Chain A
Amino acid sequence: MEIQATNSPFNQEQSDWLNRLLPTLSDYQRIWLSGYLSAAQSAALVSAGSALTIAEAPQAVGQAQAQALAPVAKDVTILFGSQTGNSDKLAKKMAKRLEGEGFEVTTASMNNFKANNLKKISHLLIVVSTHGEGEPPDNAISFHEFIHSKRAPQLEGMHYSILALGDTSYEFFCQTGKDFDKRLEELGATRIADRADCDVDFEETASEWMSQVSGALAKLVQAQSGAAAQAAGGASIQAAPAALESEYSRSNPFQAEVLENLNLNGRGSDRETRHVEISLEGSDLTYEPGDSIGIVPENDSRLVDELIAYMGWQQNDNVIVNKNGEQHTLRNALISYYEITVLTKPLLKQFAETTSNAELTELVGEGQEQKLKSYLSGRDLIDLVKDYSLKGMSAQTFVSLLRKIPARLYSISSSLKANPEEVHITVRSVRYEANGRERNGVCSVQLAERVAAGDKLPIFIQNNPNFKLPESTDTPIIMIGPGTGVAPFRAFLGEREEAGAEGKSWLFYGDQHFATDFLYQVEWQRWLKDGVLTRMDVAFSRDTAEKVYVQHRMLEKGEELYKWLQEGAHVYVCGDEKRMAHDVHAALLEIIGRHGGLSAEQAAEYVAQMQQQKRYQRDVY
């Protein structure tokens, strides 16, 4: 672009000079110059004013640079694979940070990235989560497949690092991140910072990784471009705090008032599903259909008291809960701060090391994986301390081994447009018996038993860009959401009703019994009557001799469903991953194969295409 007085901050004379000078510069000279200019600018602002000004100013300058000078300091590509939106969010946060440090950053979800451009990338950062049994999230599947295939190019010139998200309570913790890390290395790329594996409370680990990567990138650039780049790196440290977003977030949840909390299952049902309406008043929090909320739960005080009593501790003794030395009474810390209901391999290892308990050491040792796996399931810390006689540990030592209680995410079941300043969730109470004790889901049973209208809950909004209504309200949508999987579709229809959408919609729903488990029945009935919902098919598995599920209804209506797909319908699946989502996926392939006259490979290609076009989105757990 030609610099002119009309499109830049420069006067005509300055513009002429620049236009004459810039085309003559080499890449190296451009980088040097850009670093020189931005470092000088930042330094001037630091001396002039507050940190807040710093936070904003470099960005403005950066934009001016991009427009006016288009000097490429260094490009960085960040690819993310995200199911619930965390990787997406972190990728964007990193992008913002690096941009602030003068990098030109391209951020894309893996399914939006053209794989044959991979070879051209010099700096690659990957932020990716892992799902289920070590599987990549939906929007990472095709890229994951590509990079592991023979078609993947050699990547000798590439520098990379991986931020992996996961949950230590799963066996294949951060597996997808590990896969990418290993494969990029195999393809000849150079790791510039070690992979970071984040547990559910990812923020601290992610933040450390970002600093390391940022530092490593700065060093790389310094090696290439000398002092100017160092100046750029220096400036970035000042600019980092600019990443802080809205007032309320995962690390600063909003204390939201509960407006309504009721059981949606009729009398006689085996199930309990809480419909919880929460006020967002005063928070300025907003969300879109498809997003989730996070709730920071509290442990059941009965479990805490049992644990304290067994260990012989004092409830009111203080313990330090974090690196900042924050203190709470033991009882409060165990209720509000730590996870006590889930056992993980790393946790047991730490207990084994700390206590030197021989049996426990053996359990976490080599060759005991199956035994360990079966021990971990359906047990909690009370079991651990009893089974391995861990009495005698000090409370402080004990809690320092625990992980922070993770927030629970729930798909939002309301439309903000239809319910201003409110958010609704639909939560099935998890109760089961294992190893001789009744076990309760921490958050779901808290909601069922210990939260009433008027109480407050610490919440935050978790955006999920991978589960969104089509841009056009005319696009047909097919929604498959048995059980509580139907939650986001209540939000979808509420939104579409408010928008006066003309597009067709089709909902597949199922549960055990028609009479008691038809969540939000009267609302679907009303939407059907009003035409907001075009079709609805239901499968109640325990009402008939043969169990029927949503995928059976899809297959029955396969011809019509395929017609909708051909009309461009978006398909949304929400709910149980292990069985439902797999069965629904298989049904979809079968329908496309049968009614489109396609082979299995072609049907798979059809679905992959849909994924690529964001016409097949899943929110499964």
Chain B
Amino acid sequence: MSKKEFYPPHDAPHSDVEHIKIRSNYLRGSLEETLKDPITGSIPEDDNRLMKHHGSYMQDDRDLRNERAKQKLEPAYQFMLRVRAAGGVVTPEQWLMMDTVAHKYANGTIRLTTRQSFQLHGVLKWNLKNTIREVNDSLLSTLAACGDVNRNVMCNPNPFQSDIHGEVYEWASKISTHLDPQTRAYHEIWLDGEKVVDSSLQDGVEQEPIYGKVYLPRKFKIGIAVPPSNDVDVFSQDLGYIAIIENGKLKGFNISVGGGMGMSHGDPKTYPQVSKVIGFCTPEQVIDVAEKTVTIQRDYGDRAVRKHARFKYTIDDRGLDWFVNELHDRLGWKLEEARPFEFDSNGDRYGWVKGSNNKWHLTLFIQNGRVMDDGDSRLMTGLREIAKIHTGDFRLTANQNLVIANVSTANKKKIIALATEYGLTDGIQYSALRRNSMACVSLPTCGLAMAESERYLPTLMDKLDPMLEELGLRDQEIVIRMTGCPNGCARPMLAELSFIGKAPGKYNMYLGGSFTGHRLNKLYKENIGEAEILESLQPIFAKYAQERKANEHFGDFVIRAGYVPEVLDGQQFHA
């Protein structure tokens, strides 16, 4: 494939977004003004590009789009606000704050994301400032939750090995802080911070020492896994760290680079990729590695074509060896040889466990990460009640679930009582398939969505469950994921079974990811509706039920059975 020839050379004219960033005076643009414009609930596209770096972007309720156009009303513009917390750890006070702002300013629900962040939907332009201020008042932030910067640093919440988790989490926080944008724009716009007179240079010192005034060519994602759990899908990250624990001690991290999910339908030059392990570093070296990796992408990433700007293409275009050499040059030292590790799953373990610190941890199943009260289901209220008495912390998992962590033995009973009262569940009443499911938000708010996801997956599940039940597969763990577009927010390209939206009611069906998240899946059927999904899956499940080997996972089976070939590198994803 001649993909390198297809894209413009490195010095080709930069894309519009690059110019917007340059002109923006460190992410200010005309946001101050356009946020106040009382005639529209929207902001101009240029400002929206900048807005992402502040942790928010404009959406509209697509369910109402046509109806409102007829009514001579502008689309129901609203903002998605992403609140990040490194490693997904928040205090009960912070949980209560999120609950409050969700009701006060958003649509009354909280979305736990696949990157251990919170999302609020439906925030009106006029309420953004108050929402962001209240988030910051409780020491959380939205800065750099989206945009062409390093995003929320993911980290395994690991309730089993709580001391190791504590140490790894520290490093996640440090990396995150180190890579935060330094611009004062965020404080000026949202927190009424003092205006910096000449913000381009202060005493001749660059205001953004790592990013520069154009920031990165695209988003950049970092995640840290603690084996044997690969819940953070470390191979999907631009930069992944795999904790190496020897004799119960954190020795350091294997480093993997160049993963990423997003692609475009019909453009085979875009593809999901799994990262490659390139070596090992000590804990003290992780920040240096992160910074130098980010600067390499800053300097070599493609700024002409945004579809081709992710780090994975920089590496694939130039080769892994080139990257390792460049990294060693910038570090001034060399990585050690990667150390052995083993993952057993990329899912969550539900229910109560006792950590090594003698505290208790409860992992709750949150369907598609949506925290809300809905009829009889009083999930949101239950969590609020728990937050009021909880003395430990809350941990958002990479699979959109929630850990109520560090529960003292004294408090455990109360929390069990509240969980029972409000129907909070470890998901045991559901099939193992459903407990291993993820869906992105998609319609009605996501502007990229081509098909339903969060609103549809539970319905599809209702139809798959009886099939599995009949085949005796109810308790067989199978990772299933769905997204409304090929951007890959729910990391569907790593799932054993996944659906990626093509058009309303139509999905591409993929098979063959691994249970541990180290392998990409492969397109099995294109552009199919529900009936065909069920028809296609039934015989595969049936065959799996009959012919699987002991402990053979579904993703491995479909490859052995010849439904799809194995894909260990993204460049073979479309092959």
Contact = CB atoms under 8 A, between A and B. Distances in A.
Contacts of B71: 262-266
Interface in B52-87: 64, 67-74, 76
Interface residues of A, number: 23
Given A262-B70, A266-B76, A267-B67, A515 B38 contact: no
A521 B70 contact: no
Contacts of B70: 262
Nearest to A514: B41
A518 B42 CA distance: 14
Contact of B72 (A514, A523, A536): A523
Contacts of A537: 38
B interface majority secondary structure: loop
Given A266-B68, A267-B64, A525-B40, A543 B74 contact: no
The listed residue with most A CB atoms (<10 A of its CB), out of B64, B72, B124, is B72
A522 B39 contact: no
Contact of B38 (A263, A275, A538): A538
B569 to A, nearest CB: 48
A520 interface: yes
A515 B73 CA distance: 8
B72 A521 contact: yes
Nearest to B61: A267
Interface in A492-520: 514-516, 518-520
B136 to A, nearest CB: 22
B38 A518 contact: no
Contacts of A172: none
A518 B126 contact: no
Contacts of A263: 71
A528 interface: yes
A264 B73 contact: yes
Contacts of A264: 71-73
Nearest to B71: A264
A275 B73 CA distance: 12
Nearest to B77: A515
Contacts, number: 48
Interface in A27-56: none
A524 B73 CA distance: 10
A525 B69 CA distance: 13
A514 B71 CA distance: 14
Interface in A258-280: 262-267, 275
A521 B76 CA distance: 12
B126 A524 contact: no
A265 B68 CA distance: 9
B126 A543 contact: yes
Contacts of A518: 73-74
B39 A528 contact: yes
Given A264-B71, A267-B67, A515-B124, A524 B76 contact: no
A515 B76 contact: yes
Interface string A522-563: 111100100000001110000100000000000000000000
A514 B39 CA distance: 9
B91 to A, nearest CB: 29
A514 B42 CA distance: 12
Interface string B193-221: 00000000000000000000000000000
B14 to A, nearest CB: 28
B38 A521 contact: no
A266 B73 contact: yes
A538 B72 contact: no
A542 B110 CA distance: 25
A537 B37 CA distance: 10
A246 B39 CA distance: 42
Contact of A525 (B39, B76, B124): B39
Interface string B113-124: 000000000001
B104 to A, nearest CB: 12
Contacts of A524: 39
A537 B69 CA distance: 22
Contact of B74 (A262, A519, A522, A536): A522
A525 B74 contact: yes
B64 A266 contact: yes
A248 to B, nearest CB: 29
Given A267-B64, A515-B124, A543-B126, A275 B41 contact: no
A518 B75 CA distance: 12
Given A266-B67, A515-B124, A524-B39, 6 more contacts: A262-B71, A514-B38, A518-B74, A519-B72, A521-B40, A521-B73
7 contacts: A263-B71, A275-B72, A514-B126, A522-B69, A522-B72, A523-B72, A525-B40
Closest CB pairs A-B (n = 9)? A520-B72, A521-B73, A266-B73, A538-B38, A522-B72, A264-B71, A521-B74, A522-B74, A536-B39
